[in-house]
Chains A and B, each alone.
Chain A
Amino acid sequence: KQEVTQIPAALSVPEGENLVLNCSFTDSAIYNLQWFRQDPGKGLTSLLLIQSSQREQTSGRLNASLDKSSGRSTLYIAASQPGDSATYLCAADQTGANNLFFGTGTRLTVIP
């Protein structure tokens, strides 16, 4: 079974700082890795999906990278804003499993 780990569990940064969130997974046989954002009391919003053949994806101030061989992905947030405060989840599938395996998330607080 795919195991997904996110470190740190919580992170506080001052507004304007660039930051990196980390995600690791145990089985490199994946089709894709996805990053989601979850606001308190809300569902998940898909941010970026990186297919296994890709190395990275970008959307605005967000950049996600994927290194399948090492079982790692990072989410880079540039010029952080208070509105970026949320929990960020990564999820990896597993070839043949037809299932997304989620990490427990990193709770980000951007301090004005």
Chain B
Amino acid sequence: NAGVTQTPKFRVLKTGQSMTLLCAQDMNHEYMYWYRQDPGMGLRLIHYSVGEGTTAKGEVPDGYNVSRLKKQNFLLGLESAAPSQTSVYFCASSWGGLDTQPQHFGDGTRLSIL
């Protein structure tokens, strides 16, 4: 049972390039989330999804887009990368909403924008 898998694990981009981060979960969870973790700051929610075909904005959505075409996958896109988007990105999933269900996290994608 793999749980939550994120690809790639590391990536270096140049300013203005685009890329997509992939998150896959095999637990049949309805809810999926994308966070970023920066030094000296707590994890911050970028976007989330409450089911296949749905997406919603979190706390820091600007500069990112997401898609949930299949229940098991949640994609995070950077259309034009900026140095401020250098961060560690975590995907998480859960059975239900934040009020009752613990989240399961992937191991993260370390992204550097030069």
Contact = CB atoms under 8 A, between A and B. Distances in A.
Nearest to B105: A43
B100 A45 contact: no
B40 to A, nearest CB: 6
Interface of A: 4, 31-32, 34, 36, 41-46, 49, 51, 89, 91, 93, 98-105
Interface in B32-86: 40-45, 48, 56, 58-59
Contacts of A102: 42-44
Contacts of B41: 104
Given A41-B108, A44-B105, A99-B59, 12 more contacts: A31-B98, A41-B107, A45-B105, A46-B103, A49-B101, A93-B98, A98-B48, A99-B58, A100-B45, A104-B40, A104-B41, A104-B42
23 contacts: A31-B98, A31-B99, A31-B100, A32-B100, A34-B103, A41-B108, A42-B108, A43-B92, A44-B90, A44-B92, A44-B103, A46-B102, A46-B103, A49-B100, A49-B102, A98-B48, A98-B98, A100-B43, A100-B45, A100-B98, A101-B42, A102-B44, A105-B42
A4 B42 contact: yes
A72 to B, nearest CB: 17
Looking at chain A's contact residues, the main secondary structure is strand
Contacts, number: 62
A69 B102 CA distance: 23
B100 A103 contact: no
Looking at chain B's contact residues, the main secondary structure is loop
B64 to A, nearest CB: 15
A93 B48 CA distance: 14
Interface of B: 4, 40-45, 48, 56, 58-59, 90, 92, 97-108
A59 B96 CA distance: 21
Contacts of B102: 34, 46, 49
